[in-house]
Amino acid sequence: MTAPSPASERILALDALRGVAVAGIVGMNVLAFALPAPAYYNPLAYGGVSPPDYWVWLASFVFIEDKFRTLFAMLFGAGCLILIERAGAAPWRAHYARMAVLFVIGLAHAILLASNDVLRAYALAGCALPLLAGLSARGLVSVAIGLLGVHLMLGLVVLGGPMAMYLAGHAGTDGMLWAQRQFGHDPPTILMLLEQGREGLAERVVRRSLGIPGQMTALVAALPLNLSAMALGMGLWRGGMLKGAWRTFRLQRVAGLAALVALPGLLLMAGWLVSEGFAAPLVGPVALVLSAPFDMALALAYAALAMAFLTRDTGLTARLAAAGRLSLTNYLLTSVILASVFAHWGLGLFGEVSRWQAFAIGAVPVAAMLAWSRWWVAKVGQGPFERLWRAGARLLS
């Protein structure tokens, strides 16, 4: 997500990569709209009743879950660095104005539509990016690795207790019960979440507005991981990969090595969860902490492949590039479409579909963004929410 630049300055593969990222995020966001929260990570919590549901979980865990969110954050970091570099000697005021407006947009998005909104987290993490803007490509990658290590350490401090208790064979502790409510099948919790998911719009606005202070804890906890991905994206821009300056063979080699690191680790963790019956004390640490390095490696592989092959302004690449140019609008439009399907004021399908059915419905917003974006870019250019973001930032800067 970046402010628009003249067409002559745009990099087709980078725009297409943004399109890949915003489309890929739908694969997990649809589950947040369709099913109670524990089912987002655990197919046994709710909505996993048939073999297709488990195959969808496996494919999502290995190839989608947090990979495209990480890719989105990488591109956000790269986009911020692009604007900082173009802003001249004193870019900070404009940058912080953009972050303030983005936070407000994200806050409205979270209250009205999507409780799993990422824009607020990106805006908060983005406040640190000017401090990194002067680093070399190698320095930025080093910062990314260091912040990833911080995320792993803090995550294990928070979630490692229940996992250690489970592995030691202890049961019934407060930590174990908390993990069951968050990541397992706890009937009272599932019932409460089903009732909550079927509330009216006015009720939802009130509840989520009152919950804003509590949400800040989760946003702050996500800072190291989001900053890590953003720093990596900045490093890839400064190092030339996202500028389209690397040869195809080099990009293929990076993609292959990153996939060789990521896929065995993700498959081993998936097998571990299956063998343990998706025990709640394991699901949380695996999904939120232990998988993070492998998620980032696979996101890097996706980025390298896109920069290698999405280089011709025809067919699917052209549609992805148009969707990428409207990434903020498409991200928000996805929530509008999914809310109209699953929310009580729409078709009311929340909790009424299985995992694979929800995943299939996710094809609707993806098809919509690929269908409308190219026409809009050709006729209008800038997306409506990109325009709003830019206008708001100008007022503040």
* pLDDT tens-digit series, residues 34-54: 999 999 999 999 987 789 999
For residues 288 and 50, give the distance between their C-alpha atoms in angstroms, rounded to a whole number.
Answer: 25
**Contact between residue 282 and residue 163 where contact means Cβ atoms under 8 Å apart:** yes
269 pLDDT band, cuts 50/70/90, is very high
Q: Does the pLDDT value for residue 2 go beyond 60?
A: no
Supply the pLDDT for residue 3. 47
172 pLDDT band, cuts 50/70/90, is low
Residues 146-152: what's their mean pLDDT?
A: 98
For residues 70 and 118, give the distance between their C-alpha atoms in angstroms, rounded to a whole number.
Answer: 11
**Contact between residue 151 and residue 66 where contact means Cβ atoms under 8 Å apart:** no
**Contact between residue 301 and residue 254 where contact means Cβ atoms under 8 Å apart:** yes
Supply the pLDDT for residue 241. 97
Supply the pLDDT for residue 289. 97
Residues 259-264: what's their mean pLDDT?
A: 98
Q: Does the pLDDT value for residue 69 go beyond 90?
A: yes
Q: Does the pLDDT value for residue 391 go beyond 90?
A: yes
Enter the DSSP assignment of 289: I
For residues 206 and 264, give the distance between their C-alpha atoms in angstroms, rounded to a whole number.
Answer: 44
Distance (Å) of CA 238 to CA 93, 138, 140, 228: 22, 9, 9, 15
Comparing 169 with 185, the larger pLDDT belongs to 185
What residue type is 355 in one-letter code?
Answer: R
Supply the pLDDT for residue 176. 84
Supply the pLDDT for residue 175. 79
Residue 325's closest CA among 67, 103, 12, 87? 12
Residue 355's closest CA among 34, 116, 115? 34
Q: What is the pTM of this model?
A: 0.94
Which tokens go with 153? 């350490």
Supply the pLDDT for residue 89. 63
Residues 89-114: what's their mean pLDDT?
A: 92
Which tokens go with 382? 């800038």
Number of neighbours of residue 187 by Cβ within 10 angstroms: 7
Q: Does the pLDDT value for residue 167 go beyond 90?
A: no
Q: Does the pLDDT value for residue 10 go beyond 90?
A: no
What residue type is 397 in one-letter code?
Answer: S
6 pLDDT band, cuts 50/70/90, is very low
Q: What is the crossing angle of helices 327-342 and 92-112, to 10°?
A: 10
Supply the pLDDT for residue 215. 87
Supply the pLDDT for residue 1. 61
Q: Residues 383, 384, 385, 390: what is their CA dihedral angle, to the nearest 10 degrees?
A: 80
User: Which has the minimum average pLDDT: 2-11, 133-142, 231-240?
Assistant: 2-11
Identify the sign of the CA torsion 229, 164, 185, 195. negative
Supply the pLDDT for residue 189. 95
Number of neighbours of residue 367 by Cβ within 10 angstroms: 12
Largest CA distance in the chain: 63
Which tokens go with 48? 């996993």
Residues 209-219: what's their mean pLDDT?
A: 89
Residues 243-270: what's their mean pLDDT?
A: 97
